[in-house]
Structures are given as structure tokens and as C-alpha cells.
């Protein structure tokens, strides 16, 4: 027996076997159960989501011989079910509108409409890709749809419902099929591989389901290719080679270098990608996907991927949106470039070029982390000559507040290196950490670690359980900065546990406290109080913003 592709071998034979499309199945089952059948149904949706499959199952439900009435569970054993499945049932006529577009073809098809079915309840016409019919063919079909015989039901499928005349659509029950969620495609592929006794890993299934883009048929076609490519088994490396894609970590490394404005590092990361002989268009799509995840995490805090969490902290949300637009523009013009690699290279160069100036406060990460010191100096009330514009936010001028804020949160620029290391406590460590000369990324990573102790030139830090260990290169840079600061070789030990107060948390708390004091100082200003009293108004806290001049 010849090999049968998976998409045909495991084509659903009943509604219960259909993957997804619950809203469509429920509507059809209800119409059968309550005997409220429409004269014509049109199934619309993208390729491979189940349009003709559901139409065939529906035809079996209507003409199944196992019972006196249509059923929502065809037996798949009677002659009617078997013949409809094989496409040879005399009262089930399937037509490909793409190859029979002429009006003569339609007239020939409709000649048998007037005759009652000989051995079935209904005469069923399935017209696939109905939007391909000519205008004359639609007119011929429309006459039958206006006054159809009670024994005739039309089932139509299309990927472009907007091309079907509205006069035809108005006489049909239109059912819009959705794309299949990636999780359901993964589960379906896994179940089929188990039935076929084929070895696989979860990453390979995820890659295939992602590449299917919501089409169950495309997913099964890719699965057939992957099985052949992997000599009867599936592994992620073989699937990546087949799809021309790469591991997400390569693109994350590239994005790290872009955020750090490290042109040489970005070029080196790109060179590693080019050595893998991947499709550059796929790399752009992965880059767009990662930036999209970063943007979602910045707004919703919903990602469990630590790499996405770290990147979201390093880049300002506005720059995230800019990078997304740059990458999206590069993808839209990808095929215009003489060489595919140029599109990706120019995308990276533009991201490196459009970086914020330091005055804007972007990105948020600073090299220096503050020491929590004595309370800040008393803040004088702002000048009474404050101009208030209608419908505008109340702004705190940086001239009146920046100096006190800096005194409260900025660490001493060069703390004494002769600090007794054995007696160092957490607050002193926060001050020392703020004075270390670290790259932005190393600073961001180790600012999340909490100080434990410093004994005999051995520094012990603690990370939270869900944080990954820093790489050897990050540790090396951190240890070199420590050794340079203390004037002796420092060893580093890292433990896991609950974090109480890391340098990053200390800085955040200090900045929040100072901002609250600044807001209170503004609200206590006599001029502001006079305005509130005169107009019987109130100040919305969210409207108070600090500005730089």
C-alpha cells in the first residue's frame, strides 16, 4: 500500500475529531438537533483551517443512514458515509470552482437540482473556492438560491469571502472559521506522532506549530517534511535546518548588543547568525517577535522568559516601539533589497543610530547605584510665580528639585577604598556597588543580587531562585571591577534564596521616596492651595510630572 500523507490519513471523520472551530461546530450541531437547516452554508477562512473538512462531515451528518433523521454523530460505517468520504456518493456533488468557472459549467451542475435524491435525504452541492466563479456563474447560482428546492443544500467554501457577491452572501448562512491556536496544533501533532510511534522532542513540535501560522494542514505538511528530513524521527536541530530558522538565543544576544549601542558586538552577533546559513527573513521575524514580547511585558508584566524580562528592563518603552517599527519596515521591504542580508544589516544599523540622548533619561539603567544615606535636605517650597495652563499637567521644575534629589540618591563618586571589607554591611555594599565601573548590562545583572558577606577577599552574593546564573564573561568583568576597586584579587560566590534589598531595589526605593517628597512640597505650595480653594478643585496625582529644562 502506498504511503498516505498525514493530512489525509488523519482527516476528521466526525465533529468530535475536528481541531478547534468550536463556534462553528456548535452552530451546525444545533441546526441539526433542532432540524433548522439552512438552504446554503458558506464556510470562509484562511487555508488549512477545516472548511471543506467540516463541510464533508456535515454532509455525512445529513445523509447518514444510521437513523431516520440527520445526526450530529455519523456512523462512518454505512454506505452513505463511506461513499461521501471517498467522494463517489451520487447525491453529494463536489465542484472545484477554480477549474469550473464558466456559466456553462454552472448550468450543467444545476440541471439536476430539480430531481429529488434517489437514495439520500438531501442532494448536497459542495462548491470549493466559490469566489473563483465568474459573474455569469454567480448569476446562474443566484437564481437557484432564491427559490431552492427543499431537498437541496449548498455548501460553499472560500478563502476570500469579500469576492463573493453580496447578493449571494445574503442568501447563505456564513460561518467564519478562525485560525487554529498554536497550542492546539502542538497537541494535535503530538497525538499523531504518538499514534505513529515516531520519536520527537517538544521544541521540534513547537517550531512546526509556530511555522504553521494557524493552519492545521500546513502544520501536518511540514510534519511530513520534517519526518522525511529526520529519517523517521524529529529533533529540534533538524527542524530548524528544514525551516531555515535559528534558536531565539542568537537573536536575543544580537538585541542585547543593539540596546547597549555596541556596534562591534552587534556585528559579531550577526556574523554568528550568518554562519548558521539561515533565512534572513526568518531572523527578522524572530527579532520582531522578541521586540513584541518585550513591549507586552513592559505594559502587562506577563512574560515568564527571563531573557525577555531582562531586556524589558534595559530598554525604554518608547525605544521598544521605535525598534519594532524599524524591524517591521525592514520586513515589509525585505524583497526589494538586492541581497537579503542587506535588509537585516540596515535594520540593525538603524536601531543603533536611533538611540536616546542622555538628557532624556533613556535608557533607565544607570551605571551608578545609590547609597541609602542620611535624609535629604529640606526642600524649599517652589516659587509662588507658577504658571498654570488650562488642561495641562502640573510639572515639577527640575531646577528646584534636581539638586536635592541628587543628594538623596546619588552615591559618593569615589568612596574610600580602605573600607574594612570584613565589616561591610548591606548599605555599605550598595555604596561600593554604585562606584564600580561596569558596563550597562553587567550593572543591570548584578544590581539584582543581594549582599551576604565579604570575608578574606571572598564576596558572597545572593540571587533569587528564578534568576539564571550570569555567564562566565559577565562574572569576569564584575570580578575585575571589584579587584580594581579594592586593590586585591576578589573571589565571587553566588547563592540562591529570597532577596530582601538589592542595589537596584535600594535605588528604586530611594528615588520613589524622593519623588513623593517632591510632590508633597508642590502640593503645600501656597499658590497651588489658593487655586484649589478658589475653584473648589483637586489635583490628580497622575497629572503631576517632573520635567527637565
Phi and psi angles of residue 483, each rounded to the nearest 5 degrees, phi first: -65, -40
Q: Where are the domains of the chain?
A: 6-176, 182-243, 248-360, 369-549
The confidence score (pLDDT) of residue 117 equals 87
Within the chain, what is the greatest distance between any pair of CA atoms? 103
CATH architecture of 6-176: 3-Layer(aba) Sandwich (3.40)
Tell me how far apart the terminal alpha carbons of the chain are, to the nearest angstrom: 80
Compute the distance between CA of residue 523 and CA of residue 528 in angstroms, rounded to an integer: 6
Residue 56 dihedral angles phi and psi, to the nearest 5°: -65, -40
**3-state SS class at 412:** coil
- Listed residue (130, 52, 131) closest to 92, CA to CA: 52
Task: Find cell 468520504 and name the residue.
Answer: 85
Q: Which helix (H) or strand (E) holds 41?
A: strand 40-44
Closest residue by Cα to residue 331 from 285, 382, 381: 285
The enclosing H or E element of 155 equals: strand 152-158
CATH architecture of 369-549: 2-Layer Sandwich (3.30)
Instruction: Please indicate whether the domains covering 248-360 and 369-549 agree at the CATH topology level.
Output: no
- The stretches of 398-466 forming alpha helices (DSSP H) are 398-409, 426-435, 440-446
**How many angstroms from the chain centroid is the CA of residue 438?**
32
How big is the CA angle at 104 (ends 100 and 105), to the nearest 5 degrees? Answer: 30
Rg, C-alpha atoms of the chain: 34
**Domain 182-243, CATH class in plain words:** mainly alpha
Cell numbers given for 234: 524529529
How confident is the model at residue 114, as a pLDDT?
85
Residues 40 and 173: beta-carbon distance below 8 Å: yes
CATH code of domain 248-360: 1.20.272.10
pTM across the whole model? 0.57
Scored b (16 or more CB within 10 A) or e, 370-400 reads bbbbeebeebeebeeeeeeeeeeebbbeeeb
Distance separating alpha carbons of residues 288 and 508, to the nearest angstrom: 30
Task: Tell me the C-alpha distance between 131 and 123, whole Å.
Answer: 22
Cell numbers at 235, concatenated: 529533533
Q: What is the pLDDT of residues 428-454, one digit of tens each?
A: 787 788 888 888 777 878 888 888 888
Helices (H), 6-134: 6-9, 22-33, 51-63, 79-86, 103-110
34 and 97 Cβ atoms separated by less than 8 Å? no
CA distances from 51 to 18, 47, 70, 126, 143 (A): 11, 8, 20, 11, 25
pLDDT by 10s per residue, the chain, length 549:
467 888 888 899 999 999 988 999 999 999 999 989 999 999 999 989 999 999 999 999 999 998 888 999 999 889 999 999 888 898 898 888 888 778 888 888 888 888 888 888 999 999 999 999 888 889 888 888 988 889 999 999 999 999 999 999 999 999 999 999 999 999 999 999 999 889 988 888 988 998 888 899 999 999 999 998 888 888 888 888 888 777 788 899 999 999 888 888 898 999 888 888 888 888 999 999 999 999 999 988 888 888 888 888 888 888 999 999 999 999 998 888 888 888 899 999 999 887 654 443 434 444 434 443 334 444 444 444 444 444 444 444 444 444 444 444 444 444 444 444 555 666 678 778 888 888 877 787 888 888 888 888 888 888 887 776 777 778 888 888 888 888 888 888 888 888 777 777 777 777 777 777 877 777 788 888 878 877 777 777 666 666 654
**DSSP helix/strand/coil, 156:** strand
Enumerate residues 6+ apart whose C-beta is below 8 A from 414: 435
Amino acid at each position: 500500500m502506498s504511503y498516505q500523507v498525514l493530512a489525509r490519513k488523519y482527516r476528521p471523520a466526525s465533529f468530535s475529531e475536528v481541531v478547534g472551530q468550536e463556534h462553528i461546530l456548535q452552530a451546525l450541531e444545533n441546526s441539526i438537533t433542532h432540524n433548522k437547516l439552512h438552504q446554503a452554508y458558506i464556510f470562509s477562512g484562511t487555508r488549512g483551517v477545516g472548511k471543506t473538512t467540516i463541510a464533508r462531515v456535515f454532509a455525512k451528518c445529513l445523509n447518514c443512514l444510521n437513523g431516520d433523521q440527520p445526526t450530529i454523530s455519523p456512523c462512518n460505517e454505512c454506505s452513505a458515509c463511506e461513499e461521501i468520504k471517498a467522494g463517489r456518493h451520487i447525491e453529494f456533488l463536489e465542484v472545484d470552482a477554480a477549474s469550473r468557472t464558466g456559466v456553462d459549467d454552472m448550468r450543467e451542475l444545476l440541471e439536476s437540482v430539480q430531481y429529488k435524491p434517489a437514495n439520500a435525504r438531501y442532494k448536497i452541492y459542495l462548491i470549493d473556492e466559490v469566489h473563483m466563479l465568474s459573474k455569469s456563474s454567480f448569476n446562474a447560482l443566484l437564481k437557484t438560491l432564491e427559490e431552492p428546492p427543499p431537498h437541496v443544500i449548498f455548501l460553499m467554501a472560500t478563502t476570500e469571502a469579500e469576492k463573493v457577491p453580496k447578493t449571494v452572501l445574503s442568501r447563505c448562512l456564513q460561518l467564519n472559521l478562525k485560525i487554529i491556536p498554536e497550542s492546539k496544533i502542538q497537541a494535535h501533532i503530538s497525538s499523531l506522532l504518538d499514534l505513529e510511534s515516531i520519536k520527537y522532542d517538544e521544541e521540534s513540535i513547537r517550531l512546526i506549530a509556530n511555522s504553521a501560522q494557524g493552519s492545521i494542514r500546513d502544520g501536518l505538511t511540514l510534519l511530513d517534511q520534517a519526518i522525511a528530513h529526520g529519517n523517521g524521527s524529529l529533533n529540534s536541530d533538524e527542524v530548524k535546518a528544514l525551516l531555515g530558522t535559528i534558536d531565539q538565543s542568537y537573536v536575543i544576544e544580537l538585541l542585547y548588543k543593539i540596546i547597549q549601542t555596541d556596534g562591534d558586538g552587534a556585528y559579531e552577533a550577526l556574523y554568528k547568525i550568518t554562519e548558521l546559513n539561515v533565512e534572513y527573513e526568518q531572523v527578522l521575524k524572530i527579532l520582531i517577535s522578541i521586540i513584541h514580547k518585550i513591549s507586552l511585558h513592559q505594559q502587562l508584566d506577563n512574560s515568564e522568559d527571563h531573557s525577555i524580562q531582562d531586556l524589558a528592563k534595559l530598554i525604554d518603552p518608547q525605544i521598544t516601539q521605535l525598534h519594532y517599527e524599524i524591524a517591521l519596515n525592514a520586513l515589509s521591504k525585505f524583497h526589494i533589497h538586492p541581497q537579503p542580508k542587506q535588509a537585516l544589516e540596515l535594520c540593525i544599523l538603524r536601531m543603533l543610530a536611533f538611540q536616546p540622548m542622555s538628557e532624556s533619561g533613556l535608557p533607565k539603567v544607570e551605571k551608578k547605584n545609590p547609597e541609602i544615606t542620611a535624609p535629604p535636605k529640606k526642600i524649599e517650597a517652589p516659587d509662588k510665580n507658577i504658571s498654570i495652563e488650562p488642561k495641562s499637567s502640573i510639572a515639577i521644575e527640575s531646577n528646584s528639585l534636581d539638586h536635592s534629589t541628587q543628594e538623596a540618591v546619588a552615591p559618593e563618586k569615589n568612596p574610600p577604598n580602605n573600607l574594612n571589607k570584613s565589616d561591610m554591611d548591606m548599605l555599605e555594599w550598595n555604596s561600593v556597588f554604585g562606584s564600580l565601573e561596569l558596563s550597562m548590562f553587567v550593572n543591570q545583572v548584578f544590581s539584582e543580587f543581594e549582599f551576604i558577606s565579604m570575608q578574606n577577599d571572598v564576596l558572597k552574593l545572593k540571587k533569587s531562585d528564578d534568576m539564571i546564573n550570569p555567564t562566565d564573561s559577565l562574572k569576569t568583568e564584575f570580578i575585575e571591577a571589584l579587584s580594581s576597586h579594592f586593590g586585591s584579587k576578589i573571589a565571587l560566590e553566588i547563592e540562591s534564596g529570597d532577596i530582601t534589598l538589592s542595589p537596584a531595589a535600594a535605588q528604586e526605593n530611594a528615588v520613589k521616596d524622593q519623588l513623593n517628597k517632591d510632590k508633597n512640597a508642590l502640593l503645600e505650595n501656597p499658590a497651588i492651595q489658593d487655586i484649589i480653594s478658589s475653584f473648589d478643585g483637586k489635583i490628580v496625582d497622575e497629572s503631576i510630572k517632573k520635567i527637565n529644562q
